[in-house]
Chain A
Amino acid sequence: MQSFSYARASTLPDVLAAGAQPETMFLAGGTELLNWMRLGIAAPERIVDIGRLEGLDRIEPLPDGGLRIGALVRLNDAAQHEAVMRDYPVLSQAILKAASPQLRNLATIGGNPVQRTRCAYFRSEDKLPCNKREPGSGCSALHGINDRHAIFGWTEACVAVQPADPPVALAALDAVFVTEHRDGGRRIPATEFHTLPDKRPQDHNVLRRGELITAIELPAPAHRSAYLKIRERESYEYATVSAAAALEIDGSTIRRARIALGSVAHRPWRLKAAEERLAGTSIEDRAALRAAIEMSFADARPLSHNAYKIPLAKNAALRVIETAARMPS
């Protein structure tokens, strides 16, 4: 690990001023940053510890019926908060299926989406071609071992997937990431936070230097929502494929469906075409559900080792829709 200097911030203006300087990174839970520094993925000269900023560790109702989760709320606290469990089961489930209890006591809800891909070439201790590590060096996974990689939205420059679970739930919920920056903050839809590799494959998300997520806002409750995580172990493992659904149902008829897949692209992948087709469909008509899901897979493209992910993702989408439909309204 390269040497760096450390400062603990107690006010947001201090954080934003320091963050705008080059070679400066924010430290919240630390569960990613320390490993990036060990692997040489990041080598900041200065670290600003934002872990004790006041006011960012609260969960508060919004006037329109939504919920605001401060960026420094620990994952375990967010998942087990009464309002999150009651009104957004998809988010509670997604968080509790992420990482381990110890990691969730450190990791924050605002830091989690900044997690980077688990692509083994990106994380390699030996330097291998990777356009995310060194732009222009190539993609080792494109013709290498790519069984865990993307089936949507990839380019020859990068075939990595975004691995985090909570952002998949946040995408299905149409959550908004609230940011602050020395030059002004903004509201970023969860569906647009992570970047696809088509323009700048070296990017991970849309955050600018010195921009800090301060809160995540959830719109109206989504009682009939659920998260499904497919993985090679029962617990404490990244997803092979995951799926989040939030439904509005009238009798047995779906009025509105929002579905996002995880670990299939470098961002949570909303199934927009399927969602449109599902409105008006009976939850009991499995053939119709399958036909709707199929519509969102027209542009799925397997790599050499991951064609299995296409049927897996379709089946995960079906199962999560049926699971969400059984949740109490």
Chain B
Amino acid sequence: MSIGSISRRELMTTTVAMAGLSISPALAQDSDTTGLRFDGQPEVAFRVNGVDYRLALDARVTLLDLLRERLNLTGTKKGCNFGECGACTVHLDGRRVNACLVLAASLDGREVTTIEGLADGDKLHPVQQAFIDHDGLQCGFCTPGQVMSATALIAEGHAGSDAEIREWMSGNLCRCSAYPQIVDAVRAAASNKVGSAT
């Protein structure tokens, strides 16, 4: 899919890079009588998919927007942006969370794994492969979140039965309603004893 000679992804990348130029160093620091240092643009050091970053970010930026808009990791999807749909599920220090509900400012010293961090080179993570093998998707928008949730679910030990899988996958909505195939994929992946990448 291309617009003239530039692809949609390239256009987005260029735009993000240009936006990045406007990032300014920490501003609006506000020392307080309480001993805390309040900062409107705190500097944060964190690791995503094994890569270390140190950035000054507006205090309002969420982990989800950090991933998509700053780091160009667009595999993590923005569905509702209210913690209701699960499309933005990532692993934070090895546990699945909704990236839209985590302030990037709180990430200092922490480690994030996204869907881009699951595969081993060109070899898909077994849970990714299981979703393909079992037709666990139609439009695919919720799939990164489903896969991140499923890898965590298996590592947590919550794949004991179909009912347990359904319950512990309930935080990931699929508007195409591929739920039966998703359960099939999670069950198959769990029986191969594959788990979280983190």
Contacts and interface: CB of A to CB of B under 8 A. Distances in A.
Interface in A89-108: 99-103, 105-106
Given A3-B40, A17-B33, A106 B166 contact: no
Interface stretch (B91-99, B115-123, B185-193): B91-99
Residue among B37, B83, B86 having the largest count of chain A Cβ atoms under 10 Å: B83
Given A101-B96, A105-B97, A5 B39 contact: yes
Interface in B86-135: 86, 89, 92, 95-98, 100-103, 105-106, 108
Contacts of A243: none
B31 to A, nearest CB: 10
A4 B34 CA distance: 17
A6 interface: yes
Interface residues of A, number: 35
A2 to B, nearest CB: 8
Interface residues of B, number: 45
A14 B83 contact: no
A253 B108 CA distance: 56
- How would you classify the secondary structure of chain A's contact residues: helix, strand, loop or mixed? mixed
Contact of A235 (B98, B158, B170): B170
Contacts of A1: 60
CB-based closest 9 A-B pairs: A100-B171, A17-B34, A235-B170, A5-B38, A7-B36, A6-B59, A236-B170, A18-B34, A5-B40
9 contacts: A5-B40, A7-B37, A17-B36, A31-B83, A31-B101, A34-B62, A100-B172, A102-B97, A105-B95
Interface of A: 1, 3-9, 14, 17-18, 21, 27, 29-31, 34-35, 37-38, 46-49, 51, 99-103, 105-106, 234-236
Interface of B: 28-30, 32-40, 42, 58-60, 62, 81-83, 86, 89, 92, 95-98, 100-103, 105-106, 108, 149, 152-153, 156, 158, 166-168, 170-172
Given A3-B58, A8-B108, A29-B101, 16 more contacts: A3-B40, A3-B59, A4-B59, A5-B39, A6-B42, A7-B32, A17-B36, A18-B32, A21-B34, A49-B106, A101-B96, A103-B101, A105-B96, A106-B97, A106-B98, A234-B170
